[in-house]
Chain A
Amino acid sequence: MTKFQLNGKQVVVEADPTKPLLWVLREDLQLTSTKYGCGIGQCGACTVLVNDRAVRSCVTLVGQIDGRNVRTLENLDDRLGASLKNSWVKHSVPQCGFCQSGQILGAYSLLKNEPQVAAEEIPTKLTNICRCGTYKRIHEAVESVAKGEE
């Protein structure tokens, strides 16, 4: 049994503590914005926030997040979250959109820790893969939030 905060609410899950958080979110809690892409923690499609830091939920066991605070795209409506979402829409970032949940949460984590990250550092600090090739727009959208334009 694992207890944690999920999107502002206390949850208790019965799942095997070695089950990755990704599958607990998708299967036990029906939160499907978090995606399975590679399963080995490299592509970032499964990115969620644990205590406001981006983690790859496909390689994070649910037992490891006992007592912690998990957030997914379904609940990213604070000021920074809303700014990022607005910026994403304004820059028409998504193509297929599959990786964008992870991209936005990755950007959230970056800006939470480095609110004024320099534009030239953004590409090296966001490592999630996008096969549609939306990187240029992701970088512009994040830069715009970092500059307080959103």
Chain B
Amino acid sequence: MIFQTDRRSFLKWSGTGIVSLVIGCRSKDDIAMMPDPGDLPPEEVERIFQPLTTWLRIANDETIEVAVQKAEMGQGVHTTLPLMIAEELDADLSRMEVKLVGELPPYSIPGGLPMTYGSTSVSSTYEAFRQVGAAARSVLMSAAAAKWNISTEQIKTENGKCIHPNGEVLTYGALVLDAQSLDIPEDVQLKDPSEFKLIGQSQPRLQDSLIVSGQCSYGADVPLPGRKFAALRHGPIIGSVPENVSSLSSSNPAVSSIVELPNAVAVVADSFWTAKKVVEELPIEFSEPPESVAYSSDTDEAELMQAVESDGKEVLRVGDPDTLNGTDFTELSASYFVPHLAHFPMEPVTATAHVTADKAEVWLPTQSAYFVRMKVESVTGLKAEQITIHPTFIGGGFGRKADTDYVEAAVRIAMEIDEPVTLIWSREEDTARDRFRPAFAGHLAGFLDSNNNLAGWIATNAGPSVLGFGESDPLSIQGFNDIPYSIDNVQVNHINRETIVDAGFWRSIGHTQNTFFVESFLDELASAADIDPVQFRLKLLENNQRVRTVLEKAANLGRWGRPFTDGASQGVAVCADYGSVLALVCEVTIDEERKLIKVHRLSAAVDCGFAIQPDGVMAQVQGGLLFGLSAALYEEITIKNGVVEQSNLNNYRILSPAETPDIEIEIVNSGAKVGGMGEIAVGPVAPAVANAVFKATANRVRRLPLYKSLFT
């Protein structure tokens, strides 16, 4: 059991005469995840940290409200988490109302970080949310049994109702008052998956009716009367700080203040449009940090490519890689590179803040209300209980909204003025001051024996830590030291190399570079061994039936190896992580004359153990593939003398709608533990396409993006 539902359900009255049955949870373990309570007396700690957490509220007007603590950024938790409760409760999912509460104590489930990350939202809540639904159903059934004077075993539940064997019906709402005095049974039984009616079947998304009617509220949509708007400007050079800000002024009557931030200047006005215009025109002086001026991404690239040929820190050793040599084996080696990438969420980062002497309120799209609150505490000096965080829907996160730099800026501005203020980073600031997917280099040396079997490899990568853990960052080697293939002799090394550029979490993190390195190099080895790339992989997967099956399914789905008369070619890649497996076959045509890489078709097989919301799995695969394809073909941030050279769609190209390939997806329900789906589709795209490009042109692209490498 992941957490304990409270033994007593209880009743709450609201001022409107609505009576609700509340199912909540208490977990002492939550304490471990909280900041140090400092000098607070124990009863105060108890008061703040130990309220009964309301996960589910069933009212006598038949309303069912579910608290969702995970951030909704398009991955569908707003439906999938309530779905898990609805299944066990036998409720009508379409009538459930969702409250986005933010993952702050007590709204947290022990285990993992209090944030929406790592494709864990569904897998980490699967047991717990079902228990909540099952507990509620059980007390409602007891209430009905008492009323009808029959045993609970005789009662069926369906669509929010208890049903008597004689057909009589009591709605859940009608049972709320009676249920309140009952105890939740000690051991609530969860359904066997064979009994599922909703889980495993695609469900309409609860948030879609809000979205299509324009009622869905994102970061900058907070209806706060009298709020001000702010725009900011960072210096052109990374790390620069504004100077002589007190000398700045604006004659524009709509401007109410100019605020100095540690690394930027903000203008506050009645309108964002005015604030942006004014801040862009202000004659702000910025410092020119010499270490930034000395930095350019092309020299960084050259240095990374050189660094990755050295030894680095050994992070994995299998067998005896010291026996690998070029005399007894055919040695093949290659170096790869991936550039910095921007997140480019459709919603630029934004936060709305209102700060008074003893209170702070923040409205914002965030992947972690918890880290936001810590940031607000540290910036304002206020205590956690004086701070309220209102998470909104996120207009695209992709890892960018796990950071707290934008809330810090908004809060600092709010501290200088009386009114609530909405800070929006212009698209240009959002792009140029993003926390990029870091540039990474990889070097792999592989050794084939005389039978063309892979005897071993030595793999090294080099780049910065996204977690700030130096050379011990597990995300730097994600997908590099934990590959699904069995290779007898392996050495994996990592070289930590920090620069002046901020590194961020970019959807699928380590896989964005490492899956490109590994899956490209496997293809090079297959080619050197003159073995079909799918067969070559299958052989290395003899001990991994789960991944083998997925690869075989993808190969079938994509009709791997079929002859083409039009010059098209295929490529393959695999990713296994997040408790899931995905294999991808792509079909590509290269038009050398018109300099076009046409990706016609992406065929993916995916196994996340058990697809709870199959249409959501499809959506994540479709979206992840296109996110990966955009980066593979086009995306690159370059930096010259500390200045980021891209700022908006006129110079940062992303995939256009007309380039959408056919996408076919097969879901494999292997029955393994439920895995995550938000990120796994991103990493395999670049190597699959690059492998197809090699097949078509004999040109091995080892540096992304593909367009730049092939045609410039």
Contact = CB atoms under 8 A, between A and B. Distances in A.
Given A40-B649, A89-B208, A137-B622, A73 B214 contact: yes
A96 B215 CA distance: 13
A85 B214 CA distance: 11
Contacts of B344: 131
A145 interface: no
Nearest to B347: A98
B75 A95 contact: yes
Interface stretch (B259-267, B492-500, B573-581, B657-665): B657-665
Contacts of A123: 657-658, 660
Given A72-B214, A97-B211, A131-B346, A37 B393 contact: no
A98 B72 CA distance: 12
Which DSSP category, helix, strand, loop or mixed, fits chain A's interface? Answer: loop
B387 to A, nearest CB: 25
B646 to A, nearest CB: 12
A23 B272 contact: yes
B204 interface: yes
Contacts of A92: 202, 204-205, 208, 615, 619
Contact of A36 (B207, B216, B424, B650): B424
A55 interface: no
Contacts of B622: 133-134, 136-137
Interface string B618-630: 0100111111000
A100 B212 contact: yes
Interface string A112-144: 000000000001101111111111111100000
B213 A74 contact: yes
B253 to A, nearest CB: 11
A129 B654 contact: yes
Interface residues of A, number: 51
Interface stretch (B176-184, B218-226, B301-309, B313-321): B218-226
A132 B73 CA distance: 9
A32 B217 contact: yes
A38 B218 CA distance: 16
Residue of A74, A98, A101, A137 with most chain B CB atoms under a 10 A cut-off = A98
B657 A38 contact: no
A94 to B, nearest CB: 5
Interface string B259-283: 0000000000011110000000000
B470 interface: no
Contacts of A36: 220, 272, 348, 424, 427
B398 interface: yes
Contacts of A32: 214, 217, 220-221, 223
A124 B658 contact: yes
A135 B273 contact: no
Residue of A36, A93, A128 ringed by the most chain B CB atoms within 10 A = A36
Contacts, number: 164
Contacts of A88: 208, 211-212
Given A19-B271, A19-B273, A98-B347, A38 B649 contact: yes
A126 B657 contact: yes
A130 B657 contact: yes
Nearest to A22: B273
Most buried by B among A19, A88, A94: A94
Q: Give the interface centre of B204, B216, B346, B393 by most chain A CB atoms within 10 Å.
A: B346
A39 B427 CA distance: 7
A143 to B, nearest CB: 13
28 contacts: A19-B273, A27-B270, A27-B272, A32-B223, A33-B215, A36-B348, A36-B424, A43-B346, A45-B346, A73-B213, A73-B214, A92-B205, A95-B75, A96-B74, A96-B394, A97-B207, A97-B216, A97-B393, A98-B345, A104-B212, A123-B657, A123-B658, A126-B657, A132-B623, A133-B625, A135-B660, A136-B660, A136-B663
Given A93-B208, A98-B393, 13 more contacts: A32-B217, A35-B218, A35-B347, A36-B220, A37-B346, A73-B213, A88-B208, A94-B207, A95-B76, A130-B657, A131-B396, A131-B654, A135-B660
